[in-house]
Structure 1
Amino acid sequence: LDMVSSQVEVLTEGTQENQYAQPRWSPDGRKIVLSVWHQGYQDIALFDSANRTLRLITDGPAMDLTPAWSPDGQWIYFTSERTGIYNIFAFSVPDNLLYQVTNVLGGAFMPYPSPDGKRLAFINYTARGFNLHVMDLDPKTWKETEASSPLSDSKTDPANSVDSQPMPLKSFLPRSYSPFPTILPRFWVPIFGGDEDGLQTGLLTGGLDTLGKHKYGLVALYGIESQRLAYHLLYQNDQFFPTLRLRLSDLAFLHTDLLRNSVGQQIDYWERQRRVSADVVLPVLKFRWSQQLSLGYQREQLSSVTTIPGGFQVPEEGILSGVRITWGYSSAKQYGYSIGREDGRRLLVSYERMKKDLGSDFTINRYVGGWYEYLTLPYLKHHILAGRLVGGLATGDILLQRAFQLGSPFISEEIITPDETSYFLRGYPARKFRGQRMALASLEYRFPIVNIERGIRTWPLFFRRIHGTLFADTGNAWNQHTRIRDFKTGVGGEIKLDMNLAYYARFPLRLGIAYGLEDEGVLSGYLAIGNAF
């Protein structure tokens, strides 16, 4: 791949007999070392880019993997289990000799030399798991191997290599990189939801291209009774700087007891929200923390899918459109066996401006701030105490629906909701509490239950771990004034299954139950992905 022109030139193509992986250019840019699978063997080979020939530097039943060049191009380091245990080996390019560099009990993997060639970093497996190790390099202390040192002429002769014949360049003309061959969906997950007429059924999928420049996620639902399609599509482009993020959705949301008549009767209201948004995201990535600033435009059309009886209030319909700016900070970490974020915090501040000059039927200013804290409990690995404090304020036109709504997610709403304009107060009906101001606090105890780390044969499904959560939420939404005793509290628990789909897509499924402690509280269940925050 030419990084300047984005032209792709195919140097060699794999077949059923020969498959290539883990290529590494030599420091002088003339050769490529790679791992090659051929005739049932996994070996290391050298590819000469000038004459298009490939020769083996190892050949045998041992698994030889992850080659890496020394900075001077004199040595090739790789992992092999030719001793019965994975260790690091070094191949001398000038002498065609093979040496054993490490002699560990658990396994040594993925060698990588320092820029000065004096030290070697590698992954070491012990009884405590995988860790990063660094060792000094001294060829005088290495052990020359018996089986492959020196390599016989038949193994190094290009005529007897895996594919030593010159490759016709006309078959491998340079071409521009295209993401389409690899961006197709690799998994489909069934999902259920609800609309004004009852049950929805559908699927969740997503994908990304080989270079990770294009990513997308799609949730699509079809109402069995309403016969209407609902969807949420998210696309992210990292091909350029800054990142471009696009959203497109058409969803219906429940506002519990929103409509009221003159005698105090209340009925539910279903609102259809058709939304399109575009954001430019500027990330700042550091080792211990990250920040991002996003600037965007959003256009949302509000319409009713509820037949409103006479005498009841009629919610506003029309267009909400405007600009928004969001700043986020995170120092939270996730480790190999983590069940979520730990050892850090997240901060979030956002401002939205909707006005008629920007195509909106209403003028609204909305401010939101959030603090999220993640503490690892002492003496308990990956047991997390997580806290959340979120507040919001809106000015301008006041809609019957209000700027903020609090309540439980409706079935799988937390999966399909396009962004964080809905704030979930678990244990209460969906969007039960509404206002121009909002405050929400949560405390969660998250604990691991069992590490499964197992799949089903060769199916594209891998189960990682099961973990649980006990939580308490308290919050309220109001217009002018509120009191502490007006805040609503809900408690509950969640069980979560972390798994991988299609071999690479992380899919943490969460099933929860919540109960509201105040008069309006209900016992509710819901389905979601990931942790609540």
Structure 2
Amino acid sequence: TTDLRAIHPTYSPDQKQIAFVKNGGGNTNLGILNVDSGEIEYLTEFDDGSQVFTPRWSPDGSQIAFAMYRPGGTRDLATISPTGGDYTVRVASTGTDRDPVWTTDGSSLVFASDQDGIFNLYQANLATSEVHRITRVYGGAFQPHINPKDQRIAFSHYGKSAYEIRVIDAQGLWEPISSDSFNIEPIHNPIASTSLANTPYKGEYSTTTIMPRFALDSGKLKAGFVAGSDDILDKQRLFISGMFAHDLDMDLYAVYEYRKKRPTFFLEAYRLARHVEEDVINRDEDFRIYNRSFVLGGVELGGKYKMRRGGLFDARFIYNRSGTSQDVARFNGIGRTELGATTLNGFDIAMTYHLNAVGRSRDSEINPRVGRRLTLRYDRYFNFALNGFDESSSILVEQYENFFYNQFSFNWNEFIPGPGRSALSFRAFGGFIDKEVDDTFDFFLGGLPGMKGYSFYSIEGRRALMLRSSYRFPILSRIDNQAGPIYSDQLYGAFFAGIGRAWDGNADDALLKRGWKREVGAQLRYDATSFYLFPTRASLDVAYGFDHIPLQQVGDPLTRSGLKMYFTLLFGFLTDVGQVH
């Protein structure tokens, strides 16, 4: 069968023929190989994307059972004569029916099906149309095989200990299944599908997937959705998510990617809204605030070009807008009204080079050991920030201050293998802003993105530099344990130490104690899979900052940073949490 890409071979009972599946042209078809002559005869001639799986001969050699999928349908079980002719669908359900084998008397098929949501083994009597459930497992039962001597059934079982081989006795108290679950009546079909006329390809989207989403955010319960659809040839992609709270707090995000040409073009948009209920009274200033609202939105348009050796060039135009509104009145409640303003209109032309040259291995996500990651970024900002209101006007007129500047940054991670599966890593981050800007636009060097021993906003400046080294090692490299829906895989630990500072490059740096800051810490990383599908990766960081936090104003009391803790539970491990900005 040279060049036929043949799979699923099975001998006939007389050992003179081999049934197999040929793969080619986006279809699979069933063939018969004569062992002595080497001649091949094909029993099916599908050309519409149909797929054939796991052929099995009946004990007398008169029929071949197989699983098959037809476009627009599900996977069913069928039989066909090895001498040719139409095939007959013998078992069909709303789920996936697979892995057929014949009982030794040739009257029934034993197979796996997920017609009720979980793969279990069933027996279908082709003469009486009776169906019995053989297993009732919670993980999955697949690939049955019947011992011809004692009729015991061996099968592959997926459970809390991953895959294992199990054996069940021959028919006993098997559970009868309603005729509504499976259609056992024979349905005759032609061996070849109708050829379709060739037409130019046009965009064809897959079925839109919609999933519910719930979250508890700042004490508020949010409900929403995640929806996505892809072009059949992966040339286009659309993803939308949204969550809402009872007070109209919202998180909206959408992204569209166009991959037909190089580079890949994309359009992203987002909007976040937060509402704070409060009752603030200031008798001296004669005002009262009932609630505040904050809105942040943005649009990004750009392209990504994949380069050689793990490089990726990204260029994009970014627009950000933020605003706030307040429900206010005089302190006695008279003259209540709502005041709002746009606090920022920001424009950014960004160009980024990413290099991901980390060696691939089983533990490269939780513990990269060889290679490097590098990010070089340039931004040209045009920011219009709120600077007050026109007091000469009888209406609320915002006044803005312009901040037009260049920003440069780099982030470098180098990974060196250590003894066993341990690894030593070094990280360097640097950033520079070429003009004096409002503190809002500074680099922020603390928190998860940077120095974990200091809070996010505590270290800021127009210039930033950070160095860190860490040593990561396996604690449990192969946990291999299933507990409910969670499969635990790996657990790693790490120790790290770093030094860094952010400053403006003027006389205030010394007065505000913007010198070098030191930190040490430890981390645990846990790698798992949830519900057999979703990567589940958790991190716990404990860090200690040795030095005083930089002052906001000259004369403020000195405060030592001290102990900080962070916990994340995501689909992946945070590398550097994006820009330190």
| Aligned twin of 1:510 | 539
| Aligned twin of 2:349 | 323
Q: In the superposition, relative to structure 1, how do residues 396 and 280 fare at CA in structure 2: closer, same or farther (>3 Å)? A: same
> Any unmatched runs of 5+ in structure 2?
1-19, 32-41, 59-63, 68-98, 102-185, 275-291, 329-340, 385-399, 550-560, 577-581
The offset of 1:376, in angstroms, is 1.3
The offset of 1:252, in angstroms, is 8.1
Q: Residues 17-47 of structure 1, C-alpha deviation per residue, up to 9 Å, x if partnerless?
A: xxxx997317xx9x74479xxxxxxxxx874
Is 1:275–2:298 an aligned residue pair?
Answer: yes
Q: In the superposition, relative to structure 1, how do residues 335 and 526 fare at CA in structure 2: closer, same or farther (>3 Å)? A: same
Alpha carbons 1:476, 1:486 under 8 Å: kept? yes
Instruction: Specify which of 293, 313, 316 is matched with residue 296 of structure 1.
Output: 316
| Aligned twin of 1:352 | 379
RMSD over aligned Cα atoms: 5.0
| Aligned twin of 1:245 | 266
1:21-420, aligned counterparts within 5 Å?
A: 24-25=23-24, 32-33=28-29, 47-49=44-46, 58-60=55-57, 164-167=190-193, 176=202, 178-181=204-207, 183-185=208-210, 193-194=217-218, 209=230, 211-214=233-236, 228-251=249-272, 273-285=296-308, 289-303=309-323, 317-338=343-364, 339-355=366-382, 361-378=402-419, 380-381=420-421, 383-396=422-435, 398-409=437-448
Name the aligned partner's letter for residue 320 of structure 2.
E
Counterpart-to-counterpart distance in 2, 1:349 and 1:52: 45
Q: In the superposition, relative to structure 1, how do residues 212 and 341 fare at CA in structure 2: closer, same or farther (>3 Å)? A: farther
Is 1:445–2:471 an aligned residue pair?
Answer: yes
Alpha carbons 1:202, 1:219 under 8 Å: kept? no
Q: In the superposition, relative to structure 1, how do residues 64 and 325 fare at CA in structure 2: closer, same or farther (>3 Å)? A: farther
Alpha carbons 2:272, 2:296 under 8 Å: kept? yes
Alignment partner of 1:59: what SS?
strand
Over alpha carbons, which structure has the higher Rg?
2
| Aligned twin of 1:493 | 522
Counterpart-to-counterpart distance in 2, 1:161 and 1:190: 45
Alignment partner of 1:240: what SS?
coil
Q: Residues 473-497 of structure 1, C-alpha deviation per residue, up to 9 Å, x if partnerless?
A: 3322211156898122233233223
Asked which structure has the greater RCO (Cα within 8 Å, sep 6+), the reply is 1
The offset of 1:270, in angstroms, is 11
Name the aligned partner's letter for residue 447 of structure 1.
F
How many residues align? The count is: 362
The offset of 1:213, in angstroms, is 4.3
| Aligned twin of 1:436 | 462
Counterpart-to-counterpart distance in 1, 2:227 and 2:491: 23
Name the aligned partner's letter for residue 278 of structure 1.
L
The offset of 1:242, in angstroms, is 1.3
Counterpart-to-counterpart distance in 1, 2:49 and 2:360: 43
Counterpart-to-counterpart distance in 1, 2:428 and 2:201: 51
Alpha carbons 2:29, 2:51 under 8 Å: kept? no
Q: Residues 233-271 of structure 1, C-alpha deviation per residue, up to 9 Å, x if partnerless?
A: 555443432122333334589xxxxxxxxxxxxxxx998
Q: In the superposition, relative to structure 1, how do residues 241 and 508 fare at CA in structure 2: closer, same or farther (>3 Å)? A: farther
Counterpart-to-counterpart distance in 1, 2:256 and 2:51: 40
Alignment partner of 1:401: what SS?
helix
| Aligned twin of 2:502 | 477
Name the aligned partner's letter for residue 403 of structure 2.
F
| Aligned twin of 2:88 | none
The offset of 1:513, in angstroms, is 2.9
Counterpart-to-counterpart distance in 1, 2:406 and 2:544: 33
Name the aligned partner's letter for residue 404 of structure 1.
F
Alignment partner of 2:307: what SS?
strand
The offset of 1:435, in angstroms, is 1.1
Q: In the superposition, relative to structure 1, how do residues 55 and 527 fare at CA in structure 2: closer, same or farther (>3 Å)? A: closer
Q: In the superposition, relative to structure 1, how do residues 347 and 50 fare at CA in structure 2: closer, same or farther (>3 Å)? A: closer
Q: In the superposition, relative to structure 1, how do residues 528 and 57 fare at CA in structure 2: closer, same or farther (>3 Å)? A: closer
Name the aligned partner's letter for residue 261 of structure 2.
F
Counterpart-to-counterpart distance in 2, 1:346 and 1:48: 49
| Aligned twin of 2:575 | 532
Name the aligned partner's letter for residue 359 of structure 2.
K
Q: In the superposition, relative to structure 1, how do residues 487 and 495 fare at CA in structure 2: closer, same or farther (>3 Å)? A: same
Q: Residues 352-404 of structure 1, C-alpha deviation per residue, up to 9 Å, x if partnerless?
A: 112379x99531211111211011113x12x2222210100112351132331
The offset of 1:501, in angstroms, is 4.9
Q: In the superposition, relative to structure 1, how do residues 50 and 343 fare at CA in structure 2: closer, same or farther (>3 Å)? A: closer
TM-score (norm 1): 0.55
Alignment partner of 1:517: what SS?
strand
Counterpart-to-counterpart distance in 2, 1:291 and 1:53: 38
Deviates more, 1:383-392 or 1:468-477: 468-477
Q: Residues 288-333 of structure 1, C-alpha deviation per residue, up to 9 Å, x if partnerless?
A: x31111111001124458999xxxxxx9932110211111223212
Q: In the superposition, relative to structure 1, how do residues 207 and 404 fare at CA in structure 2: closer, same or farther (>3 Å)? A: same
Counterpart-to-counterpart distance in 1, 2:50 and 2:522: 61
Alpha carbons 2:497, 2:521 under 8 Å: kept? yes
Q: In the superposition, relative to structure 1, how do residues 275 and 52 fare at CA in structure 2: closer, same or farther (>3 Å)? A: closer
Q: In the superposition, relative to structure 1, how do residues 281 and 391 fare at CA in structure 2: closer, same or farther (>3 Å)? A: same
The offset of 1:470, in angstroms, is 2.4
Alignment partner of 1:428: what SS?
coil
> Any unmatched runs of 5+ in structure 1?
1-20, 36-44, 66-79, 83-159, 254-268, 309-314, 410-422
Alpha carbons 1:467, 1:496 under 8 Å: kept? yes
| Aligned twin of 2:61 | none
Name the aligned partner's letter for residue 545 of structure 2.
G
- What is the identity percentage for the equivalent residue pairs of Structure 1 and Structure 2? 17
Alignment partner of 2:457: what SS?
coil
Name the aligned partner's letter for residue 408 of structure 2.
Y
The offset of 1:427, in angstroms, is 2.2
Name the aligned partner's letter for residue 371 of structure 2.
G
1:445-464, aligned counterparts within 5 Å?
A: 445-450=471-476, 451-455=478-482, 462-464=487-489
Alpha carbons 2:213, 2:243 under 8 Å: kept? no
